[in-house]
Structure 1
Protein backbone atom coordinates (compact mmCIF):
# COMPACT_ATOMS: atom_id res chain seq x y z
CA UNK A 1 0.00 0.00 0.00
CA UNK A 2 1.39 3.41 -0.99
CA UNK A 3 1.50 5.87 1.93
CA UNK A 4 -0.50 8.97 0.94
CA UNK A 5 1.60 11.16 3.22
CA UNK A 6 4.48 10.60 0.76
CA UNK A 7 2.38 11.63 -2.27
CA UNK A 8 2.11 15.00 -3.93
CA UNK A 9 -0.77 15.66 -6.36
CA UNK A 10 0.12 17.38 -9.62
CA UNK A 11 -1.56 18.78 -12.73
CA UNK A 12 -0.34 19.17 -16.29
CA UNK A 13 -1.52 22.37 -17.96
CA UNK A 14 -0.29 23.24 -21.46
CA UNK A 15 2.86 21.08 -21.15
CA UNK A 16 3.78 22.57 -17.73
CA UNK A 17 3.64 20.64 -14.46
CA UNK A 18 2.09 22.31 -11.40
CA UNK A 19 1.64 21.13 -7.81
CA UNK A 20 -1.33 22.42 -5.88
CA UNK A 21 0.78 23.46 -2.89
CA UNK A 22 4.45 23.48 -1.99
CA UNK A 23 4.93 21.07 0.94
CA UNK A 24 7.58 23.36 2.46
CA UNK A 25 6.44 27.01 2.18
CA UNK A 26 2.72 26.28 1.43
CA UNK A 27 2.67 28.49 -1.67
CA UNK A 28 -0.17 27.51 -4.00
CA UNK A 29 -0.04 26.58 -7.70
CA UNK A 30 3.71 26.12 -7.99
CA UNK A 31 5.21 25.50 -11.43
CA UNK A 32 7.84 22.81 -10.94
CA UNK A 33 10.84 22.22 -13.22
CA UNK A 34 9.56 18.98 -14.74
CA UNK A 35 8.01 18.19 -18.09
CA UNK A 36 5.27 15.61 -18.71
CA UNK A 37 7.81 13.26 -20.32
CA UNK A 38 9.94 13.36 -17.14
CA UNK A 39 6.93 12.15 -15.17
CA UNK A 40 6.12 9.42 -17.68
CA UNK A 41 9.73 8.21 -17.39
CA UNK A 42 9.16 7.78 -13.63
CA UNK A 43 6.09 5.52 -13.99
CA UNK A 44 6.70 2.28 -12.14
CA UNK A 45 9.82 3.57 -10.39
CA UNK A 46 11.96 3.34 -13.53
CA UNK A 47 13.67 6.68 -12.88
CA UNK A 48 14.38 8.76 -9.75
CA UNK A 49 14.44 12.58 -9.81
CA UNK A 50 15.61 15.20 -7.31
CA UNK A 51 12.99 17.96 -7.37
CA UNK A 52 13.92 21.44 -6.09
CA UNK A 53 10.96 23.77 -5.62
CA UNK A 54 11.56 27.19 -7.20
CA UNK A 55 9.56 29.05 -4.53
CA UNK A 56 11.62 28.14 -1.45
CA UNK A 57 14.37 25.77 -2.71
CA UNK A 58 13.08 22.86 -0.63
CA UNK A 59 14.00 19.53 -2.18
CA UNK A 60 12.49 16.06 -2.52
CA UNK A 61 13.63 12.82 -4.10
CA UNK A 62 10.82 11.55 -6.31
CA UNK A 63 10.86 7.78 -6.62
CA UNK A 64 7.67 7.00 -8.56
CA UNK A 65 4.71 8.61 -10.30
CA UNK A 66 1.33 7.84 -11.75
CA UNK A 67 -1.25 9.92 -13.60
CA UNK A 68 -2.28 11.83 -10.45
CA UNK A 69 0.51 11.74 -7.86
CA UNK A 70 4.26 12.04 -7.44
CA UNK A 71 5.69 9.70 -4.79
CA UNK A 72 8.52 10.97 -2.58
CA UNK A 73 10.93 8.89 -0.52
CA UNK A 74 9.79 10.55 2.74
CA UNK A 75 6.58 11.97 4.26
CA UNK A 76 5.68 15.39 2.90
CA UNK A 77 2.06 15.79 4.02
CA UNK A 78 0.35 15.60 7.38
CA UNK A 79 -1.68 12.61 8.47
Structure 2
Protein backbone atom coordinates (compact mmCIF):
# COMPACT_ATOMS: atom_id res chain seq x y z
CA UNK A 1 0.00 0.00 0.00
CA UNK A 2 1.29 3.45 -0.93
CA UNK A 3 1.82 5.74 2.08
CA UNK A 4 -0.50 8.73 1.67
CA UNK A 5 1.98 11.04 3.43
CA UNK A 6 4.40 10.53 0.51
CA UNK A 7 1.89 11.61 -2.15
CA UNK A 8 1.55 15.02 -3.76
CA UNK A 9 -1.61 15.93 -5.73
CA UNK A 10 -1.15 17.59 -9.10
CA UNK A 11 -3.25 19.05 -11.92
CA UNK A 12 -2.60 19.40 -15.64
CA UNK A 13 -3.90 22.70 -16.98
CA UNK A 14 -3.24 23.81 -20.57
CA UNK A 15 -0.50 21.14 -20.94
CA UNK A 16 1.38 22.39 -17.86
CA UNK A 17 1.72 20.64 -14.51
CA UNK A 18 0.76 22.38 -11.26
CA UNK A 19 0.95 21.10 -7.69
CA UNK A 20 -1.71 22.40 -5.35
CA UNK A 21 0.78 23.49 -2.71
CA UNK A 22 4.55 23.40 -2.29
CA UNK A 23 5.31 21.00 0.58
CA UNK A 24 8.26 23.15 1.68
CA UNK A 25 7.27 26.84 1.48
CA UNK A 26 3.47 26.28 1.25
CA UNK A 27 3.00 28.49 -1.82
CA UNK A 28 -0.21 27.56 -3.61
CA UNK A 29 -0.65 26.55 -7.27
CA UNK A 30 3.01 26.08 -8.14
CA UNK A 31 3.89 25.53 -11.80
CA UNK A 32 6.50 22.77 -11.76
CA UNK A 33 9.04 22.04 -14.50
CA UNK A 34 7.36 18.83 -15.66
CA UNK A 35 5.35 18.00 -18.75
CA UNK A 36 2.45 15.54 -18.90
CA UNK A 37 4.68 13.16 -20.88
CA UNK A 38 7.20 13.15 -17.99
CA UNK A 39 4.47 12.09 -15.58
CA UNK A 40 3.18 9.37 -17.90
CA UNK A 41 6.71 8.00 -18.19
CA UNK A 42 6.74 7.54 -14.38
CA UNK A 43 3.55 5.42 -14.27
CA UNK A 44 4.29 2.17 -12.48
CA UNK A 45 7.68 3.37 -11.23
CA UNK A 46 9.31 3.03 -14.65
CA UNK A 47 11.28 6.27 -14.30
CA UNK A 48 12.57 8.41 -11.40
CA UNK A 49 12.69 12.22 -11.54
CA UNK A 50 14.21 14.82 -9.24
CA UNK A 51 11.81 17.76 -9.04
CA UNK A 52 13.12 21.23 -8.15
CA UNK A 53 10.38 23.58 -6.98
CA UNK A 54 10.76 27.01 -8.62
CA UNK A 55 9.29 28.85 -5.61
CA UNK A 56 11.88 27.84 -3.00
CA UNK A 57 14.38 25.66 -4.95
CA UNK A 58 13.80 22.67 -2.68
CA UNK A 59 14.19 19.25 -4.28
CA UNK A 60 12.02 16.18 -4.15
CA UNK A 61 12.70 12.72 -5.62
CA UNK A 62 9.64 11.40 -7.48
CA UNK A 63 9.49 7.63 -7.74
CA UNK A 64 6.02 6.94 -9.17
CA UNK A 65 2.88 8.66 -10.45
CA UNK A 66 -0.72 8.03 -11.35
CA UNK A 67 -3.46 10.21 -12.80
CA UNK A 68 -3.92 12.19 -9.56
CA UNK A 69 -0.78 11.96 -7.42
CA UNK A 70 2.98 12.10 -7.61
CA UNK A 71 4.72 9.70 -5.21
CA UNK A 72 7.87 10.79 -3.41
CA UNK A 73 10.49 8.72 -1.64
CA UNK A 74 9.91 10.69 1.59
CA UNK A 75 6.94 12.23 3.43
CA UNK A 76 5.67 15.51 1.98
CA UNK A 77 2.42 15.93 3.92
CA UNK A 78 2.13 17.24 7.43
CA UNK A 79 0.32 15.26 10.09
CA UNK A 80 -3.29 16.35 10.54
Q: TM-score w.r.t. structure 1 length?
A: 0.99
Q: Deviations over 1:38-79 (max 9, x none)?
A: 000000000000000000001000000000000000001013
Q: For 1:1-79, what aligned pairs fall within 5 Å after superposition?
A: 1-79=1-79
SS in 1 for 2:77: coil
SS in 1 for 2:67: coil
Q: TM-score w.r.t. structure 2 length?
A: 0.97
- Could you list the runs of 4 or more consecutive aligned residues of structure 1 that deviate by over 3 angstroms after TM superposition? none
